[in-house]
Amino acid sequence: MKKLLLFGAIALSINAFGQVPNYVPTNGLVGWWPFNGNANDESGQNHNLIPNGDASLTADRNGLTQSAFSLSDVNNNSRLEFGLSDFSLIDNFNQGSLSMWLKITSHDITNHYFGFDNMFTVRQKSGVNTQFYLGLLGGTMQLRMHLNGALPNSGDLTSNSSLSINTWYNIVYTWDGSTEKIYINGILDNSINSTNYITPLSSPDMFCFGSYGGCGSNSTNSILDDLGIWNRALTQQEITDLYSSCQLTVNTQPNNQTININNNAQFIVGSSDPSATFQWQTDLGVGFQNLNSAGQYSGVTNDTLTVSNVTMSNNNQTFRCIVSSGSCSDTSNVAVLTVNNNVGINETSQVNLFSVFPNPAQNIINVNSDSKLIGQIYSIYDNAGRVVLTGKFNSQNTTIEIGNLSGGIYMFSVGENMSQTFKIIKAE
- Listed in order, strand segments (DSSP E) in 60-218 are 68-71, 79-82, 96-104, 116-125, 129-137, 142-146, 157-162, 168-175, 179-184, 187-193, 206-210
Q: What is the pLDDT of residues 273-304, one digit of tens each?
A: 788 899 999 998 878 899 998 889 999 999 99
pLDDT score at 83: 95
- At 382, the pLDDT band (50, 70, 90 cuts) reads low
pLDDT band at 23; cut points 50, 70, 90: confident
What pLDDT score does 208 carry?
Answer: 94
From 91, 127, 109, select the one nearest 215 (Cα to Cα). 127
pLDDT for residue 275: 82
Better-scored residue on pLDDT, 383 or 199 = 199
Q: So what's the pLDDT on residue 5?
A: 36
Residue 136: strand pairing partners: 143
pLDDT confidence of residue 360: 62
Banded model confidence at residue 400, pLDDT cuts 50, 70, 90: confident
Higher pLDDT, 270 or 341: 270
Quote the radius of gyration of the chain (alpha carbons, Å).
Answer: 27
- Secondary structure of residue 239 in the 3-state scheme: helix
Residue 237's SS3 state is: helix
Task: Please give the biggest Cα pair distance in the chain.
Answer: 86
Average pLDDT over residues 334-343: 84
Each residue of 174-201: pLDDT tens digit? 999 999 999 999 999 999 999 999 999 9
Confidence band of 334 (pLDDT split at 50, 70, 90): very high
Q: Which domains does the chain have, with CATH numbers?
A: 7-13+352-426 (2.60.40), 29-244 (2.60.120.200), 250-340 (2.60.40.10)
pLDDT score at 10: 39
Q: Average pLDDT for residues 91-97, to the nearest whole number?
A: 95
Mean pLDDT along residues 145-162: 90
Q: Please tell me the predicted confidence (pLDDT) of residue 63.
A: 80
Distance CA 304, CA 332 (A): 13
Distance between CA atoms of 333 and 118, rounded to whole angstroms? 34
178-207: b or e for each residue (b if 16 or more CB lie within 10 Å)?
eebbbbbebeebbeeebebbbeebeebebb
Q: Is the pLDDT of residue 13 over 50?
A: no
Q: Out of 39-53, 164-178, 373-387, 390-404, which region has the weakest mean confidence (pLDDT)?
A: 373-387
User: Looking at residue 220, what is its pLDDT?
Assistant: 93
Is 3's pLDDT higher than 50? no
pLDDT digits (tens, 9 = 90+) for 134-150: 999 999 999 999 999 88
